[in-house]
A and B are shown apart, each in its own frame.
Chain A
Amino acid sequence: MGTIAAIAAAAVLFLSCQQQTPEQELIRKTDAVGPWLAALQMAGEKWTVNSVPATFVHTSVDAAQKAFTKAARETGRSDARTDLRDHLGRLIAGGQAESARLRRAVAAQDRRAAVPAIRGLAALHADFEALSKAFEEPSQ
């Protein structure tokens, strides 16, 4: 019981004391982008082997687009360094474009056309991960 109380107290203390730079804050506020890029990549791959229906890819893209739009808004509002905001902005715009491309390929039942969109999403995801790592908060 003492351990739990101590852990909880440490967690509360951590929350109240933690300071973030504007860059770290922006990375945190846009952290949904990376998982969505990866999820769309996987959804696209699974669609090409008939593991998921086309409607699932459509609705996933729609949900991801909402997350991208929210992230773009956060990036626009942020006080973070310009180079980070520009880089993130490019990644988000890339995500929007590649997911729309995937949606079009799926709507046309064109598996071959889906492949470059899936590759594009994979590249954007790798880029996003590297960017997040560069600005991630020091471990506690």
Chain B
Amino acid sequence: MKKAMTLALGILTSVGGFFDVGNIATTAQAGASFRFQLIWSLLLATLLVIFLVEMSGRFAAVSGKALPDAIREHFGFTFWLVPFAVLTLIHLLTLGAEIGGMCFALHLVTGIPVWVWAPVVAILTWLFLWRSTFSTIENSTSLLGLLTLAFVVAALLHHPPTGEVVAGMLPSLPHHDPEKYWFIAVSILGAVIAPYLFYFYSSGAVEDDWDPSYIAVNRGVALIGMGFGSVISLGAIVVAAMVLAPRGIEVSDYHQAALMLTDAFPFWGFALFAAAMGIACLGAALEVALSMAYTTAQTFGWNWGEDLNPREDARFCLVYTGAILLSALLIMFGVDPLKLTLLTMAINAAALPFVVIPFLLLMNDGKLLREHKNGWLSNAVILFIVILSFVLAVVSIPLAIRGGS
């Protein structure tokens, strides 16, 4: 019964927590500029993230260890330093993007400049982390995040052309702006396969005391939760394709994306968009700040755990405090939230090999995982991810300079 509850809650929180600022920015751009043509990149990214999340949960359930902890112990501190440095950069940039998203949501409804909201949002995020337990954070923001299902409802209300949507599921070459097309494709991959996500997931599984009996639950959460979560992103692409694209509105600023839901919900659409954006970004900001604290504490062998009293893991709390402060400063100093988001997604994509390769090596360790080590299918998918990551790393930078400008 407890496991069934865990599965149900896990699926709900995965669905609610799937959508974040990177997904909002990239799916709105994809739909507005290329209608349904980039759905394939979302599907590919979803498939890969299901595998990664399943593996990180399986690893934590079997070994009782989170990924950074295990990689450091297994391969040594020096080996782990490069992935750790890359993860730290990604955490800070992603946290900045999420804080920027929350600030923008508040800017949309109040008109008060984005940078003014940065300290308020930073304090709110910090207070939430300081006062809450892991399960409160995991469940409350993710359940509120179900508000993002508004994109799915809106997509259905627009009655999109089924043939075109299905055609978009297969990769195709763009009819215009090829550099922009590939940049958005890369950004979608970077947004969905966020490296912090599977590192955070393994720490969360340890916080929730998973053991090998949770492997089936983990599989269900990864497959159903992430699968349905991506339906929200698909909904956002469809809405942008049905509302923004026919009007010639491309998204170079969140103001343009904010109009997406106003056709489907004339009176609530604008408020729904702002609320969905704010809540999705709050949930993701909490996860990213925690993930950074987990990774750092596990790297240096400090006490860690969101359920501990801050007195018992002061350095863990200090890390998320510093991370929130630094990331909020980016927004306070006037960095454009959308540009920061897109840059971060490109860097996410470029960074994947650094964080996936140690993970792959660990997942094939028979001593550690016994009969639960990776099978050929998992290995093939991971190998695919590593090659794809390398290609993305080479392509995403020039595309970011040219297409994302």
Which residues of A pack against B, CB within 8 Å? 1, 3-5, 7-8, 11-12, 14-15, 31-32, 34-36, 38-39, 41-43, 46, 49-53, 55-56, 58-60, 63, 67, 125, 129, 136, 139-140
CA distance A5 to B179 in the complex (A): 16
Q: Is B115 an interface residue (CB 8 A)?
A: no
In the complex, what's the smallest C-beta–C-beta distance from A15 to chain B, in angstroms?
5
5 contacting pairs across A/B (C-beta < 8 A): A15-B402, A39-B256, A56-B258, A56-B270, A139-B175
Question: Are the CB atoms of A53 and B109 closer together than 8 Å?
Answer: yes
> Hey, which chain B residues are within 8 Å of A56, CB to CB?
108, 111, 255, 258, 270
> Hey, which chain A residues are within 8 Å of B258, CB to CB?
52, 56
Q: Is B391 an interface residue (CB 8 A)?
A: yes
Question: Are the CB atoms of A46 and B256 closer together than 8 Å?
Answer: no
Q: Is B121 an interface residue (CB 8 A)?
A: no
Range for the number of chain B residues in contact with chain A: 35 or more
- Would you list which residues of chain B between 371 and 405 have a CB under 8 Å from chain A? 384, 387-388, 391-392, 394-395, 398-399, 402
With A39-B256, A55-B111 known as contacts, the answer to whether A125 contacts B248 (CB < 8 A) is yes
Question: Are the CB atoms of A11 and B255 closer together than 8 Å?
Answer: no
With A4-B387, A35-B256 known as contacts, the answer to whether A42 contacts B395 (CB < 8 A) is no
The total of Cβ contacts below 8 Å across the A-B interface reads 98
Question: Are the CB atoms of B270 and A136 closer together than 8 Å?
Answer: no
Residue of B247, B255, B267, B384 near A38 (CB, 8 A) is B247
Given contacts A43-B259, A51-B267, A139-B175, 6 further A-B contacts (CB under 8 A): A8-B392, A32-B250, A38-B249, A39-B255, A42-B247, A52-B270
Q: Is B266 an interface residue (CB 8 A)?
A: yes
CA distance A108 to B176 in the complex (A): 41
State the majority secondary structure of interface residues on B: helix
Q: Is B107 an interface residue (CB 8 A)?
A: yes
With A46-B259, A56-B108, A125-B248 known as contacts, the answer to whether A51 contacts B387 (CB < 8 A) is no
Q: Is B301 an interface residue (CB 8 A)?
A: no
In the complex, what's the smallest C-beta–C-beta distance from B63 to chain A, in angstroms?
30
Question: Are the CB atoms of A4 and B391 closer together than 8 Å?
Answer: yes
Question: Are the CB atoms of A59 and B255 closer together than 8 Å?
Answer: yes
Question: Are the CB atoms of B107 and A59 closer together than 8 Å?
Answer: yes
Q: Is B88 an interface residue (CB 8 A)?
A: no
> Hey, which chain B residues are within 8 Å of A3, CB to CB?
171
Question: Are the CB atoms of B270 and A53 closer together than 8 Å?
Answer: yes
Question: Are the CB atoms of B259 and A52 closer together than 8 Å?
Answer: yes
In the complex, what's the smallest C-beta–C-beta distance from B266 to chain A, in angstroms?
5
Residue of B110, B251, B252, B388 near A4 (CB, 8 A) is B388
